[in-house]
Amino acid sequence: MGKQARVVVTGMAGLCALGQHWKSVREKLRSGISGVSFMREWEKYEGLDTRLGAEISEFVVPDHYPRKKIRTMGRVSLLATRATELALEDAGLLGNPVVTDGSTGISYGSTSGSPPAMEVYARTFYANRTIKGIAATDYIHFMSHTCAANLAQFFEIKGRLVPTCSACTAGSQGIGYGYEAIRTGRQRLMVTGGAEELHAVNAAVFDIMFATSKWNDQPERSPRPFDVRRDGLVVGEGAGTLILEDLDHALERGARIHAEVVAFGTNCDGHHITNPETGGMRKVMELALADARLAPSEIGYINAHATATELGDIAESHATHRVFGSGVPISSLKSYFGHTLGACGALEAWITIEMMREGWFAPTLNLDEVDPRCAELDYVRGEPRECSVEYVMSNNFAFGGVNTSLIFKRWPGG
């Protein structure tokens, strides 16, 4: 194999229940403010126990978006488009010919397309046995690669398109496969990340499995990753986009560099379709460390997947302990804005990089008492942890036994 390119992050942005810009997200993370709320509109669903969700309450489609370009978009694609627009702007690439000349590709995903469009098909075609009332664009709203395809047409991106539809690892695989495309010289830039829109059907998926939180009268006190009183996850929504770039290209155009991507590991448990497996989680972290040629002691902070489910938290904590021991600070951002499914890997990577740049890390919200069944780790609790580190790791795990681990390096002056 020839010389591999170094890959850097030159643009990034995200939308979640804490806000639509880093300033808002930062303020709420540092103040310990939750983005979880009581979803009154879900009361119409019989048997749905959870009423907790983390929605973006003030998202408005920008006026400058041409109707012709957004008519094929459901909310999930609109969130992805806005996050990507902000990230391209942050990278100084909006309007730059490199975005449209084939040098730039897309690696982006979601758990699924837009649920309301799926409902139209299910109700109209399957229940009413007719196609009357189904719009030509409804399928485009809910097809599995709707985010990646819509980003391509909106920004006129002509490079490779990699849809990552691996549920909770869609966003992290988006970043990882984008990193590999640049590292091996296939593209100079990649638009990477993931998105998800909040809908009751997403909560129902986990509710049926008894995996959702029932703290309905105290939404700000759940989810509770690693906590002895946790009772399940809270579903959220959002989108996160990282613009990855060949280092030489970034330096040539004088781009501001936020961080370097130094490793991506991904594997599959091959064990159980929904239950987490400690061995697979441990192995994927080791794969990332090997890719970066780093010792475990060189990682200064770990952003955990930690959804606040019993099996997941316990398995992940023990996998982490087997690799790192007890000394690395670790916390879960899902405690603030819920489990954003296909967006979580990208949102959490974005926020982790921002915190690394500023020299602090958010504590896990609602972690009052660590479950004694979890491994002994350096859980960041209570107040933000002020510390300067060179490398951070962000981990995500999904149904199907899909595991991912990303490592980012702090860029001097970034």
DSSP letter (8 states) at residue 34:
-
Identify the burial level of 57 via C-beta atoms within 10 angstroms of its C-beta, where 0-12 means exposed, 13-18 middle and 19 or more buried.
exposed
Which strands form 7-15's sheet, in the order they lie side by side? Answer: 161-164, 104-109, 189-196, 238-246, 7-15, 259-268, 402-410, 391-398, 301-303, 329-331, 378-379
The tokens for 215 are 């703290």
Q: Is the Cβ–Cβ distance between 76 and 113 less than 8 Å? A: yes
Give the torsion sign (CA, 282, 262, 26, 82): negative
303 - beta bridge partners? 331, 394
Bridge partners (DSSP) listed for residue 331 = 303
d(CA 133, CA 36): 35
* Structure tokens belonging to residue 257: 């560099």
> Which residues are annotated as catalytic?
168, 305, 339
Torsion, CA 8, CA 23, CA 347, CA 414, rounded to 10: 10
Phi, psi angle pair for 398, to nearest 5°: -135, 165
Strands lying side by side in the sheet with 37-38: 37-38, 52-54, 235-236
Nearest-angstrom CA–CA distance, 157 and 385: 40
Which amino acid is present at 190? M
CA dist 25 and 377 (Å) reads 26
Give the C-alpha separation, 307 to 399, whole Å.
13
CB neighbourhood size of 163 (10 A) = 21
